[in-house]
Structure 1
Amino acid sequence: MSANRNDIADFSYFLAIVRHGNFRRAAVELGVTPSAVSHSLRGLETRLGVRLLNRTNRSITLTAAGEELHNAIVEPFARIDRARETLNRFRDTPTGRIRINAASDAVALLLAPVMPVFVDRYPDVELDIVASNRLVDIVASGFDAGIRYGGTIPEDMIARRLSPDMRWVVAASPAYLRHFGTPATPADLADHRCLGVRLGDDRLYRWEFRGPDGEFDIATPNPITLDDSRSMLIMAINGTGLMFGPEALFKPALADGSLTLVLENYATTGPGFSIYFPSRRQLPTGLRVLIDLIKEIDPLNA
């Protein structure tokens, strides 16, 4: 039985389902509804006369026939994707849809400053950006790439640095410092109100400093804990407590006097932002030009 046009389209849906193990995530990658993905699979199974997937409320697994089909078509479709991307390099203007999962700070500090130039220069590239501090499997979730601080990138990914090292500092509003005083050393934070940081893996962040004997970290008293630095910044400006974060994030508030740095002699530096993607996947042209533009504009070093 030869494949018809409907089979070819449904094969790509089938491969996306297997890749993600989830109809909803496959639909996100394909830009369609989950019901469309389900309908495509049913149509393919009906035409082929075999069940390809075992489906329960909790899992999706390949049948023997499904595994046979997957093994037969996965590499040919991968070659087609690579060929399409290679041809895209010959276009005057890159095209396509790129999905990026980025830390909230990266969206505000790295992506936002370059977006006006990007949309003007590459009008045929559609960027779908999810700003989230929660660590996700970018492959399983249908993303082309992720952007994180350098120290949090999965080891099995290819990473490219997008910004220089960043200085991490503590800031507070003048009103807070008038009311509670200014800490002279990190040890003084035990008597202060600190805004706790919840990391993408749900751990509570220990504030990091550099002293005469090297780097160290401490647990802080946290009457309020947040997982979003923009919300934290608003609370700090309003005098809720001391905030720890990258100095670049505080720049506007420091310039207008709504925040003041403290403990500057103990400030430390850490890896800047990097973009990462699977090593087995050819870099889409749209993603490549975005990386090049970020390096060209260099918003965190401008």
Structure 2
Amino acid sequence: MDGLVKKIQQWISPNRSKVYIISLSTHSGLNAAKGKLFCMQISRADVADLIYFMAIARHRSFSRAAIELGVSASALSHALKGLETRLGVRLLNRTTKSVTPTAAGEELVQSVLQPFDTIEGALESLNRYRDTPTGRIRINAAVEAANLLLAPVMPAFMDRYPDIEIDIVASNRMIDVTDAGFDAGIRYGGTVPEDMVARRLSADIRWVIAASPDYLERYGTPEHPDDLLHHRCISNRLGDDRIYRWELERDGETYQITVPGSVTVNQAETGLVAVLGGAGLMYFPEPLVAPYVKDGRLRLVLTEWSPLEAGFHIYYSSRRQLPTGLRLLIEFLQEARPLGL
């Protein structure tokens, strides 16, 4: 294959105290192949500390990196100081409010990122030789996706793949999942970043307006979207901090309404508790309120205006190898179909 081919191999020396990183650079052509071999010997401590440093630089935080790595923040701080001392270069600027790479630190990040990704991919590929897949995957999921899509299938997934660890962070805030150290994100289809590979995990979801019977008895039932302007409504704050305008449609007629109300929540689950208590009307994904509608604790209003929107999609970077655990989770969700597909 024409062009530059880089392969990174890692092994431990017999005395288990050294790691060798071998970089093979080969230019292939019609007549000959020329290559250069570069071998660098580094200590195992340096490799471990480089992994720590990369996590800190990615998160811009000792505490968040510590959570990802499963160690204490103080252990990370100690390791980084040791690495900086051995290298003789400051890698991070640290203040009480921020952690940012220095120029040297940023250069180091860019230099070791690809080799580390290659090593990680090589180790990940060994899963196909194991009887039971192993690994750890980190998912950043919208709160509704975590509750409605992931949590219900976890018992069966754990039984089938007992050696795969899953770290689920439920948050509606939009982030760059790759930069934040996640293997994938799960969001509603219309909010998936365009530069990511996206795969559908659920059927389209209907959005509904619900209230408790007590509230409707006290304040009446809205018969038209304009009636919402005269009701107590609980507003939805989106992951980008915008207040959501309720979207309603019927026979080609659409409404986008900024509803009145003194309460705003950034998670539908929080609003659900308030609505069950009679606080007012709120706009929900139908699967979230379906059990409460079934048992009579909630009622739907303006159902003929309920729009059908894109369901949940999982997305991940196209530039990195898909971890085996993530692939198996996607296949499992598409097989189990907790929200239909």
CA contact (8 A) 2:234 2:281 kept: yes
Contact 1:100 1:143 in 2 (8 A): yes
1:157-172 pair list within 5 angstroms: 157-172=196-211
Other-structure match for 1:223: 262
d(CA) in 1 for partners of 2:109, 2:291: 53
Q: Counterpart of 2:94?
A: 56
Q: Is the 8 A contact 2:215 2:279 kept in 1?
A: yes
Q: After superposition, what is the alpha-carbon deviation per residue over 1:28-69, rounded to whole angstroms, capped at 9, x for unaligned?
A: 332222222222222223223x204141313422344x4554
Give yes or no for contact 1:97–1:126 (8 Å, CA) kept in 2: yes
The residue correspondences of 1:1-302 to structure 2 (distance < 5 A) are 2-48=41-87, 50-57=88-95, 58-64=98-104, 66=105, 69-301=108-340
Q: For each residue in 1:60-104, what CA deviation from the matched residue of structure 2 results, as whole angstroms up to 9, or x when unmatched?
A: 22344x455445433222211010111123222221222211111
Distance 2:67 2:183 in 1: 12
- The amino acid across from 1:201 in the alignment is D
Counterpart of 2:177 in 1: which secondary structure? coil
Q: Distance in 2 between matches of 1:147 and 1:237?
A: 27
Match of 2:36 in 1: none
What is the rounded CA distance, in whole Å, between the counterparts of 1:175 and 1:68 in structure 2? 62
* Residue identity (%): 56
Give the structure, 1 or 2, with the largest relative contact order (CA under 8 Å, sep 6 or more). Answer: 1
* Higher mean C-alpha displacement, 139-148 vs 240-249: 139-148
Which digits, 9 at most, give the CA deviation of each residue in 1:124-144, with x for residues without a partner? 111111222222232333222
Range with bigger deviation, 226-235 or 182-191:
226-235
- Work out whether residues 164 and 272 of structure 1, in 8 Å CA contact, stay in contact via their aligned partners in 2: yes
CA RMSD of aligned residues (A): 1.9
Unaligned 5+ runs, structure 1: none
3-state SS, counterpart of residue 106 of structure 1 = helix
> As a proportion of its length, which structure holds more strand?
2
Count matched residues. Answer: 300
Compute the TM-score of the two structures, normalised by the length of structure 2.
Answer: 0.82
Matching residue's letter, 2:262: P
How far apart are 1:25 and its partner, in Å?
A: 3.1
The one-letter code of the counterpart of 2:73 is: P
Gaps of 5+ in 2: 1-39
Contact 2:58 2:180 in 1 (8 A): no
Q: Does the residue aligned with 2:247 lie in a helix, a strand or coil?
A: strand
